[in-house]
Amino acid sequence: MAALAASRRLLQLRPELGLCLHSRALIPYPSWTKGIGHFRYQPPARRLLSCRQGAYKEGNAAAKNKQPWRSSSDEQLIHGNHEDGTAEYMCKNFSDKFAQLSLEEEENDDVVCGISESMVKDAEKAAVELLAGRAFTVSELRKKLCAKKFPENAVDSVIADFKSRGLLNDGYYAESFSRSRWLSSTWGPKRIKQALRQKGVSDAEVDQATRRVFQDGHSNQTMHGISDDSMDHLFAQAAKQWQRGRSLPLENRRARVVRWLQYRGFNWAVTNAIVRKLEAQHPS
């Protein structure tokens, strides 16, 4: 597109390059005459010149005398004949001027490491708008930007910049996500790990986040891999489910709580300990 725009600009600056002695007039500008009630286009009178040697020089000299502003001292028209007898016009400095105009078109858009700076800025703006709505993992943000048709190299550049500035951190995201799901929805370690892996978080960061949430950084941990404080919180939530099924038989009541705990991602050891404690403290 830059080359096409440059060629058009060159033809506008040097219109004599588009003239052909066989079918074009020396004066390509149209003349307009006013008709009755409307404007009517009147094409210019054409002067067909011969391509015989000598006639070309005379016609070219006449054109220069009529329109001296269309030629300069550094431009010389070279005459040549094709097999079909048509004349060919060439500018001595055509390649240099074309390259200069092409460079002028590209100067407006800086390129860094093969990536358009404007494209990187657009991708960065889109990433900021996404992060303003909610937090994302690195994998999620990459998928969102690629879905917006940004080049992969521009997306990688933005993500690397955001990670260096601390705007993207899968470790912090995993810990925040784990604590939120544990406190608000009573999700267990198994379900939280599954959700974080689907979001593209590495296994090491997932394990570290769940340990911080369910073990609370204390040494007084139970045999089930959950701290006593976390176990007490889980028991309080399970007791609400136990009380809601008090009208059911004991077996159905027990099965209801077991399904509730396992659906939220707790292993059988934690589930069995909670059910036994509920049966002991809340007999039917």
Residues 6+ apart with CB under 8 A from 169: 163
The three-class DSSP label of residue 266 is: coil
Q: What is the band of 281 on the pLDDT scale with cuts at 50, 70, 90?
A: confident
Average pLDDT over all residues of the chain: 74
The C-alpha angle with vertex 168 and arms to 165 and 170, in degrees rounded to 5, equals: 135
Instruction: Give this prediction's pTM.
Output: 0.59
Q: What was the pLDDT predicted at 116?
A: 81
Looking at residue 242, its pLDDT comes to 93
- Position 56 scores a pLDDT of 45
pLDDT for residue 50: 44
Supply the DSSP symbol for 79: P
User: What pLDDT does residue 69 have?
Assistant: 43
| Spatial CA neighbour of 21 closest among 91, 90, 87, 92 | 87
Identity of the highest mean pLDDT range in 10-19, 42-51, 218-227? 218-227
pLDDT of residue 284: 62
Which pLDDT score, from 0 to 100, does residue 111 have? 53
* Residue 225 confidence (pLDDT): 78
Q: For the domain 111-168, what is the CATH code?
A: 1.10.10
**In the chain, where does the domain assigned CATH 1.10.10 lie?**
111-168
